[in-house]
Amino acid sequence: MNAEQWLRERTYHHSAFWDLKKMVAQKEEQNLKISLCLPTLNEGATIGKEVVLLKSALMDHYPLLDEIAVIDSGSTDDTREIAAAFGADVYLASEHLTEAGDRKGKGENLWKALYLLEGDIICYVDSDIANIHPRFVYGLLGPLIENPDVHYVKAFYDRPLAFSQGIRPTGGGRVTEILIRPLFSLFYPELAAIIQPLSGEYAGRRSVLEKIPFPVGYGVETAMLLDIYNDMGLSAFAQTDLDTRVHRNQETIALGRMAFGILRTFFNRLSSHERIELKGELEKIMRQHRVEDGRFDQVEYQIEEFERPPINTLESYREKFGLGG
């Protein structure tokens, strides 16, 4: 399947899956369990609405989801208390898989979710969405339930940015357009067909996710795409248009640090996939500048992008899910 055919056949709109009663019947016919993971760090402003709305629509009214879990990185606000009060299962990431130690980052939560949750399909949705709607979940699950050849589904959408003064109607995706799409075009041109490779909403089959390493930081979304593509090709993917996603804006200087982490992951994948040969280790220090009283200072940030191994290599995981060997 080439990129043009893939765009034509594997790009969906969430409205194709509006019939939730039909989706639940298809899920039950396949005897599938489906889990929703909401990774959090200080998301008290939005997590309650996400849990209430998604649980009401996709568990209580239409039983598409078997569990909704918040995996928290150590929030200092009331994120965990709010999520639990509205019916989510809540896990503090540092308290689980303790034999593997504790790392901070979204990827750590996504990786531990594979151990903590039971689903054959895991759907990941960010917890800072101001306009949350059930389409953020069923739009991603639809291609996986309808097509056994699809193993991983990525979201795309318009991304107006939320500011204190209101909503800016265009923007977003700056790291994608300036960094990721040029890199994909250079080294993995077929993946340039994915419209928003860094979107925070995606769903995948456990049988695929358990076999790939997870960077704990900025590179987790990029690594998932590259590793699944390297193993299975473009035909393993689909993407769904979820219309509009309203979220917080990040300053450009913060996006620079994100880009540094993604680049570390990207070049390490280029090396492990034998597309380039690196002469030594990549730098771990990102250097930026600040101005104070007319003086320029250099500020250094260590961005290591530690990676978790494929979770099916952990003895405790293999024991819990009955994997041999």
Cβ atoms 184, 197 nearer than 8 A: yes
Q: At what angle do helices 20-29 and 135-146 cross, to 10 degrees?
A: 40
If DSSP codes are grouped into helix, strand and coil, which group holds residue 286? strand
Residue type, 303: I
Q: What is the dihedral of CA 232, 273, 282, 225, to 10 degrees?
A: -10
Please return the burial class of 155, using the count of CB atoms within 10 Å of its CB with bins 0-12, 13-18 and 19+: buried
pLDDT in tens, 83-98: 999 999 999 999 999 9
The band of 138, judged by pLDDT with boundaries at 50, 70 and 90, is very high
**Tokens describing residue 315:** 């003895």
Domains and CATH numbers, the chain: 3-321 (3.90.550.10)
Average pLDDT rounded to a whole number, residues 40-53 = 95
Q: Which residues of 4-25 are buried (b: 16+ CB within 10 A; e: fewer)?
A: eebeeebbbebeebeebeebbe
50-83, pLDDT tens digit by residue?
999 999 999 999 999 999 999 999 999 999 999 9
Q: For residue 190, how many other CB atoms are within 10 A of its CB?
A: 16
- Number of neighbours of residue 223 by Cβ within 10 angstroms: 22
Examine the pLDDT at 13 and tell me if it is beyond 60.
Answer: yes
User: By C-alpha distance, which of 88, 122, 124, 79 is closest to 106?
Assistant: 124
Asked if the model's pLDDT at residue 144 lies above 50, the reply is: yes
Q: What is the rounded distance in angstroms from the CA atom of residue 99 to the CA atom of residue 97? A: 5
| Residue % of the chain over a pLDDT of 90 | 76
254: pLDDT confidence band, cut at 50, 70 and 90?
confident
CA 218 from centroid of its chain's CA atoms: 10
119 backbone dihedrals φ, ψ, rounded to 5°:
-65, 150
Each residue of 265-276: pLDDT tens digit?
A: 999 999 999 999
Tokens of 75: 């929030």
What does the pLDDT read at residue 171?
A: 46
This model's pTM is above 0.75? yes
Residue 206 has pLDDT above 70, yes or no: yes
Least confident window among 9-18, 105-114, 160-169, 301-310:
160-169
Q: What is the pLDDT of residue 160?
A: 62
Can you give the length of the chain in residues?
325
- Bridge partners (DSSP) listed for residue 238: 153
- Element of type H or E holding 232: helix 220-232
- Indicate whether 293 pLDDT > 70: yes
Q: Looking at residue 208, what is its pLDDT?
A: 98
Average pLDDT over residues 156-175: 63
Residue 99's closest CA among 303, 313, 273?
313
